[in-house]
Amino acid sequence: MLDIKFIRENPETVKNACRVKGFDDHVDEILALDARVRELKTATQTMTAEKNRITREIPTASDKAPLIARSKEIGSEIAADMAELAEKEDAFNDLMHRVPQIPSESAPIGPDDASNVEVKRVGEPRKFDFTPRAQWDLLDMNNWWMPEKIGQICGTRTYALKGEAAELQLAIETYVIQKLIQKGFTFIECPAITKPETIFNAGHFMGADPSVMENDVFMLTGTDRCLAGTAEIILNSLHGGEVLNESDLPIKYAGFSPCFRKEAGAAGRDTRGLARFHQFNKVEQYIYCTPAQSDEMHEHILNNLCEVMEDLELPYRVIANSTGDMGFNKVKMNDVEAWVPSENGYKELGSCSSIGTFQARRTNTRYRANDGSMQFCATLNNTGIAVPRALVPVLENHQNPDGSVNIPKKLQPLMGGRTKIGGKH
């Protein structure tokens, strides 16, 4: 969320952020509520002081009745103002949680992904001298999955890899984790079970009512828990309520967890193959830093994912997401997309996001600056790798005419030295 002081001093900037991001503008209503809340707080404090003074005078007064009557009258006024204050504070709090983050001036302005801008392109799509197979055909012919059986057992949008494809998925996860550790990230295996307020504090949902999450989040009925959609959720609250030292920033985490999403808004999309499931695994890059370090850290974690694309020997491109496509809580966002032959186009494999102090204000994560002042941390996140989604371009780009798949060189040590899997043996 934003600082109310910033909104008071920059209302037009906030209004513009609502406009270019496509969210309702509540700025005038927020400012009116803010003024009334401050007025009521001052009034109740003044009346409480007067009531306390009268209470002290009553024991020694020769005529107590007028003082007692006035004390009761003030008490009624305080009660009425406190009731209105609670109502206004609830409304104020809800609207403050509906104000989007201010986008970077460098972000393309537009209502949706049609306004995204390609920043760079690396590698050329492979020119096959045979008809390439789609991922699902490679999985079928190599007996690397069992979609019908798993669908019967577990329901729709679930998957299970087996044999060499399962080994390859594990190798990809392990490789990325090791790479990030070598780059100074602390590896954390994160739980996927969490509390709803932890998800809410990540700032992906608007308003102050956590029930808004129920279309996207698996709630665990009969408990106060739910399933997290990404390790970012856990890592974001890891230092909640703490005061860090500026000298310790940036703090870099590589979180790994299973991820759970209802995908309620994705009906009919990516129903074939390995693209979209209720459960998947993801390695997440997450950083706490000072606001001044944020741009440098954004490039750092973006470059890490680009290096992973190159290590997997995939043609890819980087996209600057438009204001309307970057989401509620982001300052700026870059998608990294790999070439997928069966789709004759690029498919998103990770999103790099600068959040500014938006999340840290929700979790009250601060640092003591070198000058002694207390400041909110900036946070950033980016995919390290998400599977099985990443298997799609790996399988399709590295396939051979017999249905075998070449293993990228960086993964071969984790695959027992094998150079390829599948195909006719």
What pLDDT score does 205 carry? 82
269 as an active site residue: the answer is: no
Structural tokens at position 330 = 């982001």
What is the domain range of residue 189? 113-422
What pLDDT score does 267 carry? 54
To 5 degrees, how large is the angle CA 302–CA 307–CA 311? Answer: 150
Q: Does residue 107 sit within a domain?
A: no
225 as an active site residue: the answer is: no
Residues 229 and 361 in one domain: yes
Task: Select from 63, 96, 129 the last residue of a domain.
Answer: 96
Length of the chain, please? 425
What pLDDT score does 84 carry? 95
Q: Does residue 108 sit within a domain?
A: no
Residues 142 and 168 in one domain: yes
pLDDT band for 227, please (50, 70, 90 cuts). very high
157 as an active site residue: the answer is: no
Contact between 234 and 198 under an 8 Å Cβ cutoff? The reply is yes
Q: Does residue 160 sit within a domain?
A: yes
Q: Does residue 103 sit within a domain?
A: no
Residues 143 and 194 in one domain: yes
Q: Give residue-wise pLDDT tens across range 377-422.
A: 999 999 999 999 999 999 999 999 999 999 999 999 999 999 999 9
CATH value at residue 199: 3.30.930.10
What pLDDT score does 271 carry? 65
Per annotation, catalytic residue among 98, 133, 261, 366: 261
What mean pLDDT is predicted for residues 4-25? 96
Task: Select from 96, 124, 145 the last residue of a domain.
Answer: 96
Per annotation, catalytic residue among 276, 307, 343, 368: 276
Q: From CA 254, how far away is CA 281, in angstroms rounded?
A: 13
Per annotation, catalytic residue among 29, 126, 348, 368: 348
Q: Does residue 101 sit within a domain?
A: no
Please name the residues in contact with 157: beta carbons below 8 A apart, sequence gap of 6 or more: 263, 276, 277, 278
To 5 degrees, how large is the angle CA 385–CA 391–CA 394? Answer: 105
Q: Does residue 369 sit within a domain?
A: yes
Answer whether 0.95 is exceeded by the pTM.
no
Per annotation, catalytic residue among 104, 351, 353, 354: 351
276 as an active site residue: the answer is: yes
Domains held by the chain: number: 2
Residues 91 and 180 in one domain: no
389 as an active site residue: the answer is: yes
Q: Give residue-wise pLDDT tens across range 291-306.
A: 999 999 999 999 999 9
Per annotation, catalytic residue among 257, 284, 389, 404: 389
What mean pLDDT is predicted for residues 148-152? 91
pLDDT band for 268, please (50, 70, 90 cuts). low
Residues 75 and 200 in one domain: no
Q: Does residue 271 sit within a domain?
A: yes
- Burial of 355 (C-beta count, 10 Å sphere; 0-12/13-18/19+): buried
CATH value at residue 68: 1.10.287.40
Residues 90 and 119 in one domain: no
Give the full edge-to-edge strand order of the sheet including 316-320.
117-122, 316-320, 332-340, 345-356, 378-387, 279-289, 251-260, 186-189
Q: Does residue 102 sit within a domain?
A: no
Please name the residues in contact with 58: beta carbons below 8 A apart, sequence gap of 6 or more: 64, 67, 68, 71
